[in-house]
Structure 1
Amino acid sequence: MQITFLGTGTSQGIPVIGSQHPVCLSENPRDKRLRVSVMIEWENYRYVIDCGPDFRQQMLTHHVSHIDGILFTHEHNDHIIGLDDVRPFYFRQGKIDVYAHHRVVEALKKRFDYVFQEKNKYPGAPEVHVIELTGEAFTLKNKEVVPVNVLHNRLQVFGFRLNDFAYITDAKTIAAEEKEKLKGLKVLVINALRREPHHSHLNLEEALAMIEELQPEKAYLTHISHLLGFHDEVEAELPENVFLAYDNLKIEI
């Protein structure tokens, strides 16, 4: 199974528009971050978790010609607003499978009503096939996926575990019973927004404490803001089994 980090930034990306912060002015390509998303591939299957405002650019960068579906973690703009850019896939493949909580599906219907419209549908609009997630395990082709409930302040967000890989974004707290789903991992991806505390995201200290508790073989930090610091400097501070993810990083599990 190959994981590609399509984007590792927070909602504004790095650089932030108009910012003079030193990280935003960095020339290091690892300090430039599109909005957060990953692509998971095995055999001939390819799924994307979240499609934010940079989805089109991410698909072009990686020369993606087909996807088997999109898993949504939650309905915030930086995780869903690229849905319209599934059009080229739809025209080649037909309806795109979309996996999401009922609440997220309802949010998608409000923002993309023309995608879900059944009568007098605009001929250039894409279509999706919705699979609503309840929190129970489900199957993608030949792999079981275990949803993991986390809280983004008070908003329920899905993380996902496939085999020995798990992806968590926009988490602040994780209940004890959900942490049990994250034991025995080879790779954990988890958000670490910045150094200072935040009301709805893990900061670096909290993310490292979570990793220490869950004990994956390796962990990668994502959903990173410019306030975390320069990539190379932060990476040098981390425990030996913890890494800063960066855009276009590929790992195999």
Structure 2
Amino acid sequence: MPKSLDTIMASLGAHVAEERVKGPVRSFQDLQERVQHRAQMYEDVQYIEEQVQMLQRMLHSMPSLPPEPEVLWANAVLALPNLTLLEIDTTGLSEDAEIVRVTLLDRTGTIIDDILIKPKDPLTPRLSEINGIRNEDLEHAPSIREAWSRIEQCLQGRYIVSFAQNFDRDKLSEAAHRDQLPRINFIGEDLQMHLGHFLGNSYIKLADACARVGHPLPERPHQTGVDRAKGQLHVLQAMANAVTSCTTSLPKPGVENSEDLSFDLNDHPF
């Protein structure tokens, strides 16, 4: 039966102490005995080093712990009375993409407003599959110019959290520039960035994050902006509770879902 590490450590300590008190070599036989003795000691040290390396590998393979600052951030944000989750649907990722839906939820998951906006051109079947909006849903919807003041009013005085917030800001700025509308400014933070720090995976998409925390989004084309806004809230609540996953099988960092229906499998974060 192999000796335990405790036994080897105790024996090694005793042998080292014994060697130290022996003093100079007294004879050739004494030398041979000491060489043999020390060879065993070095063998024990090597065994201990191997066991330590194995334990280090085990430690490195353990699930990472969520960083406490991100947990505290999520709790602080959820405590804000004016917290608002924002979701913006567009006709694409390019600068000329139009906004077709703006959804806002409060911290309880209640809809503040859900604004459908009629684009200049009809939605393609592909777009409808991605955003869950049909052309018939937009038949009586206002234009972006008609809806602009309503969007501005909804964002005013609120602390906005959204997934990939730079995308949302860019689309609002592009719409304002294209239609010569007043620029809309708001304060807030990017949930995707904080989630990336929380999970150690900056590439994770909202749908994957929702699945991890036990609140998967509906399958497309039944997934809407309201579902994604609620998904953001579920993710934020999970972060506040330091929950990194409710599943045992997780996607590897940077690996995309091959069944994802983002715009031509581009870098859309949803």
Please confirm whether the aligned pair reaches a TM-score higher than 0.5, indicating the same fold: no
**More helix per residue: 1 or 2?**
2
Give the structure with higher Rg (CA).
2
Report the TM-score when normalising by structure 2: 0.24
Report the TM-score when normalising by structure 1: 0.25
**More strand per residue: 1 or 2?**
1
